Chains A and B, each alone.
Chain A
Amino acid sequence: MKTTEAPATTAKGKGNGTGKKEGTALNVFSHGILVLWAIMVVLPLLWAVMTSFKDDASIFGSPWSLPDALHFDNWSRAWTQAHMSEYFLNTVLVVGGSLIGTLVLGSMAAYVLARFDFPGNRFVYFLFVGGMSFPIMLALVPLFYVVDNMGLLNTIHGLILVYIAYSLPFTVFFLTAFFRTLPTSVAEAAFVDGASHTRTFFQVMLPMAKPGLISVGIFNFLGQWNQYMLPTVLNTDPDKHVLTQGLVQLAVSQGYKGDWSGLFAGLVMAMLPVLAAYILFQRQVVQGLTAGALK
């Protein structure tokens, strides 16, 4: 924004005509491309919303026609008969538990790793961070039996523990870097005043780390809310299904029943809250999701 006048005028003097033409042509071209991609993103989503209000006959007969009437019964059928309400509840329980657990345990580990020198510090750090690049599926085969032997298979709390474990690598990686950027003087002052390490952490350091916790919290929330692979392997009891699994299950069973409108209503039902939350907290969500990649 702070362009000095001098270079701007030189630019004008040099290649005024061609530069302007190039600029205008490029502008039209870039708008064309950008609008095209925006349509490609929005159209499938709009199609899904539209379809969720149609009856089955017109879904098959004319996929792009507007609904003849707003069939809200699709939505109520999906919510009750197709168990979407239960899937929502299960997801809220699992994600709520694992998000809190991930943030508490992740920040504890990250704080110790960022601020204290002890033998094995680097080893523990790389043990955590290494988990980011390993294919999870490799561990899932034995993990299934580990979880089974502990009696945690098909339980909400079992799923919470596994979600926490697989969220720790990125959380520890991100928060360790974050705690390193915080000034040491405040914690030292608290410690000199007689606060224990534990108290210093919970009452001084955690409040200071709030921006980092929000970023990594949003990242984990979306990751855990949208998780599909872990519950598919470890949570096969239909009553305990989370949203993503429930929808896939629904797609398979509705295929036999032929209730496509109900399925689309369920799909949109699962899509809308996340999209709405994103539009409301747009800046924070983008910051949270891109935070790791910009480090």
Chain B
Amino acid sequence: MQHGKYRFIVGFLALPLGIYALFVVWPFVQSIYYSFTDWTGLSPDFEMVGFDNYTRMLDDDIFWKSLWHSVLFALLVPLVTLGLALFLSFMINVGGRKRKGGPVITGVRGSAFYKIVYFFPQVLSIAIVALLFQFAYNPDSGAINSLLRGIGLDGLQPLWLGDPDLALWAVTAVLVWSTVGFFVVLFSAGMASVPAELYEAALLDGATRFTTFFRVTLPLLWDTVQSGWVYMGILALGAESFAVVQIMTVGPGGPDYSTTVMVLYVYQKAFRDGQAAYATTIGVALLVVTLAFAAVVMRLGRRERLEY
């Protein structure tokens, strides 16, 4: 297969690689360079300023707030999402009533229905989900508070997104709501591929279903859980948190910077405040946080791979 091989390789790679280099790789390299300048983004002129942007960043209270919220998102959102998804998929796959002559462990009746419904939010745009919940959270006419009034909890009428102590949790809940279903389906597929003999053997040895879950199911699913964690964390640091915070919160990022995240702060500095160079500096910090997060999860999660 030598004839014309290199001409073919170059011909096939040139266009995809060219587009990718121009729109993805080159801007990444540029933004690291810009973080050492005083470029505003409004005019083409700039000078090198060394580490000025970085020292400014370390003194910037809003930066630290956004960093803390981003780290919280990257840790908390996957933890709650994956925990809830594992629990629900365990219920779907193992919670069934034993039928005569059937296998010892069975899925619940209607498991296919649950999986279809749980997956709904996954196909919707996070922007649409964010808009929907912005209205649901409305203190006066929103769905949530009027539901609370409807069941007699008139005293409990939180301001949700308007309350600096609650806003971040309200946003977190939306991120969890929109991604749990994806992982339920993913884990269900993983659980279905675990041989039934393993469960039966555990039950024969007198294990309860919950021991079975922690000693058999979870270890066998560990690889999927781990890559799910990294995937979810990257989303929670990047595009997803940008959409929900920018659309839902007042300010956006408020009230009183209580919900601002790094990705939003980069956007605001670059495209609202005309401080493009400083924005790229925060962007570099976001890059460091993302890579550190992925490395830590991969390292903590490293275990012997179980073959079955």
Contact = CB atoms under 8 A, between A and B. Distances in A.
| Chain A: number of interface residues, binned into ranges | 35 or more
Interface residues of B, number: 108
A197 interface: yes
B172 interface: no
Given A127-B25, A146-B23, A270-B128, A286 B287 contact: no
A247 B206 contact: no
Interface stretch (A29-37, A73-81, A206-214): A29-37
B64 interface: no
Nearest to B98: A23
Contacts of B239: 136, 228-229
B23 A161 contact: yes
Nearest to B271: A233
Contact of B189 (A51, A226, A290): A290
Nearest to A187: B1
Given A188-B1, A198-B11, A293-B228, A23 B123 contact: no
B91 interface: yes
A161 B5 CA distance: 28
A135 B9 contact: no
A244 B128 contact: yes
Contact of B283 (A41, A141, A191): A141
A165 B143 contact: no
Given A60-B141, A64-B143, A108-B16, A30 B108 contact: yes
A22 B209 contact: yes
Given A64-B147, A226-B125, A289-B182, A27 B97 contact: yes
B231 to A, nearest CB: 6
A279 interface: yes
Contacts of B287: 134-135, 138
A145 B259 CA distance: 28
A203 to B, nearest CB: 15
Interface of B: 1, 4-6, 8-9, 11-13, 15-17, 19-20, 22-28, 30-31, 34, 41, 87-88, 91-92, 95-98, 102-104, 108, 114-128, 131-136, 140-143, 146-147, 150, 177, 180-182, 185-186, 189-190, 196, 200, 203-204, 206, 208-209, 224, 227-228, 230-231, 234, 237-239, 242-243, 246-247, 263, 266-267, 270-271, 276, 279-280, 283-284, 286-287, 290-291, 294
